[in-house]
Structure 1
C-alpha cells in the first residue's frame, strides 16, 4: 500500500476514533486502537502522530491537547471537538443556491480552482438538492475566467499554491520585463493574486530582501522547493502583509511612490473616471470656471504609466502638477507628433523566426481543460464518504456515472477511494462504512448503522474555501438574482474567516458598476426595458438607448450587457463602465428567440479583438518591444530591436487612443488616415 494511502487511512481513522470516543484519549490509546498506528514502535508512532496532527491542523482540523500539570508528554490527552471538523449548517435561500450553481456551471473546466469548487459546493449544500444538477441559467456568460492558461502555467500554479499552503520556500527562474533580464529567484510565497486575467505571486524575495510581485507567466522552467524541510517560513501577520494593498493599485502605483500627481479631468467624463479609478486616489472640485471639471490626486511610482493614462484620455485630461510629470507628458506628445509627421523611418526587418507549434485551443463544447488545482485527496475522500453514507441511510444504490460526474474523477480513482474508505474505522473493529462498486454500474452501500462522523458536512479545507470565495468574487455582483454577495457573507461567517486573506485574492476588475449591473440584472430577470444613458468614447458622445437586456458578459476590458437595441434593430453590447445612468422601466418585452446574447463569448470578449475589416500595422519602440511581444501579434522584428505589430480595429478613434496610451513608444505605420488621426489628436492635447 502506498505511503500516502496509509497516511490517509490513519488520519481519517484518527478523526473517526476521536469523535466516536467523545472524550479525551491518551497517546497510548491512540497507538493501540487507531488503524495504522498499532504496528509502530514508540519512536515511529511519535513521529507519525506528530506529523499527522500538524497536517490535519494545516487543513483546518485542529486537535485539542490537554497537558497534565507535570508536563509529561506521554500523559497528554487528545480530543477533536465537533466544531473543529463539522461545518456549521448554512441557511441558503433557493436563490443563493441557484447563484452558486450558476457560478460552477460558468467556471467549470476553465477555472483553475474548479475541482475544489465542486467539492466545496457538495459540502455547503448538505441536505439540499445538489446545486451541481440544477438547470443552468443563460443570463450570464464569461469571456474571461480564472483559468491558469496552458499545461505549463497550470503546473506552475499548482506548485505555487501547494507551497503557499505548506509554507515552503520555492526557487524558479524569472524574466524581469523592466530590465529585460532573466535570473534565478528564491521566494517565500505568501499569496496569489488574480488580476486582469493573470495570476501573480506575492512573496518575500531572498535576493531583494523585500516583498515582490511575480507574474506567473513570466516564470521560466520548473518551480521547485528550496529545501526538504516540512516548513521553511512563517507567513507574516496581516498587519505586516495585507494582499488587498496590492489588489487596489493602479498600473502607475506598482513600486515605491515618487510623487503625487494632480490631474484635471473634464466634467464630461469625470463620472466615469471617478467610478473606474476612484479607489486609486481622491477627487476634488476644479477651481477654474473656464475649465469645469474635477482634480484627481493620485500617488504614482511609474511616471510613464501615469503619463500614458493621461494621454489616453485625450483632451479630457491635463496634468496640473508636479512639473516633472507635466514635462514628461509634454515630451511624449512631441514624440508622438514627430513620429506621425511625414514618413516613418523604420529599421530593416530581420528574417522571420521559425513558427512555434501552438498548443491546441479549446472551443466551446470540446470538453474540459486540464485542471490546475486539484484538491487534496483527503477532501475528496471526506466528500465521497458523505455521499456514500447518505445513500446507505436512504437504502438506495448510487449510479456510478453520477458519482464520477459529481466528483470529476475516473472510475479507477473512485474504486481506489472506496477501497480506502472501506478500511477506515473508529476502533474496536467498527468500520465507518462498507461500499461495493458493482459491474452493472451501481454502487451499493451497506445500510448498517454508521458513525456520525461523516454523516454531516465537514469543514471546508483551505483550498476548497479559497475556491468557493474566489468563484464568487470573480463573478461579483453580476448575477440577475444578486444573491452571490449574501451567499458569500454566510459562507465567511460559517468558516470564521475570509479565505481571501489566506492565500488567494481575486482583484476587482473595472470600475464600480454595481448599481448599473443591478439595473441591467433586474431588466434581464423581469424581461423589462431598461433606459440607459451611454457614453460612446470613440465619438465622445452621449446617447439615450431603450434596450431589451438579455445577459451580462465579461471580457478583457470589463463587463457588458448584451441587449437588443430596437432603434438599431440588432444586438448590441454596452460596456457597464460607459453607462452613466440606467433606469428600469415598467415596459415588458417578449424575449426574442433569435437573440443569442452569449454567441460571441468565445470571440472578442476573450481575445479583445472585435470583428473588423481593417488591420493597422503599428511600430513599437525597442524599449517597449518586449511588452508588445507578450501581448500583441508581432508581424515583423526589426534590426534595432523594435517590432511591428498588427492591430485589428473597427473604429479609428479606438486605434488612436491605443496609440496615445503608448505615450510615444508606438506609431502607426499604416493606414495613412489613422496616422493623420493621431496627429490631429495630438493637436488637442496642448
Structure 2
C-alpha cells in the first residue's frame, strides 16, 4: 500500500501520461477505493492542479489547464525556456530526442492558454540559424516574438558600435538566433529599409499602438536573408563594388573582408562588402589584381583618391614630410 504522498505523485504521473481516466481505472491502478481516490483528487486540487470530474456511468476525471502553472513546477519564463529546449534538443537523437518529446507533451498539456500562446509566438517567430549560449534574456526574446506575431510596431532606443543611442521605430518581422547573438529583423520606418538589430543593444522597446501589414523580404527566406545580411551588417562601413573579373577569380580575396559576390554578366562581379574602416576597404580593393568601380558610398571614392595620391607620392619619393634620420647606432635588443 502506497503512502498518501506517494499516491499523489503516482496519481499525477497517471494524469500526465493519459489526460482522462474513469474513477474505476484510477482506483485499480492505485489499488485504492474510489472514496480514497476522491480524497486524493481533492488534495491535488488544493495544491493548484485543475482536475475536472464528471459523474455517471461514463464519468471520470480529467487533468485540465489552470490559470497558472501548478506549484513546485516551473515559473512562466522557465516553462517557455524548457519547452523551447525540449522542442529543439541540440545534437539529440534516438532515446534522448524521444524523451524530450514526451516531456514536452506533458509540459504543454499543463500549460495555461496564455503561456501556450506565448510559446507558439516564440516558435513561429524565432529562426535558429546556429546554436550556442546567449546572454540575451528570454523575457526580451518572448516580448519581441509576440510583437512579430501580433504585428505590433515598436519604438526603442538602439546603441551602435560606439555606444551612441538613437531612437528607432520599427516593424518587427522575426527574431533570429545565430551563434551567441540574437537579432531582430525589422523594417526601419524612418530609413525605409530592412535592418537587423542586436537584441542586447535594444533599449526599452515598447509598442507605438500601431499595427502593420507584413512586408516581403528581398530574399524571401528568413534564414537565407539573415545569413546574407550578417556577412556585412556588423561593420561600420558598407560598400558596393563592381570588379571586372569573374567570381571564381575573386574567391581567394573574398575571405579578407565580409562580402557577397554576384555575377553581373560580361565577366564582371558585383560585391556587397563591408569593413570597420575605409582604410581596410581601400587596402582590400588596392590588393585586387583587377580593375573595379565603386558604386557606393561616395566617401569611399574620395578616400581611395586620398590613398592613391599618398601612394603615388611615396612611389616617386616626393612626400611632403620626412621623419628625421636616426643618429647613432640602434640599441641592441
Q: Common fold, TM-score beyond 0.5?
A: no
TM range, smaller chain:
0.3 to 0.5
- Larger RCO, structures 1/2 (Cα 8 Å, 6+ apart): 1
Q: Which has the larger radius of gyration?
A: 2
Q: TM-score, normalised by structure 1?
A: 0.23
Q: TM-score, normalised by structure 2?
A: 0.42
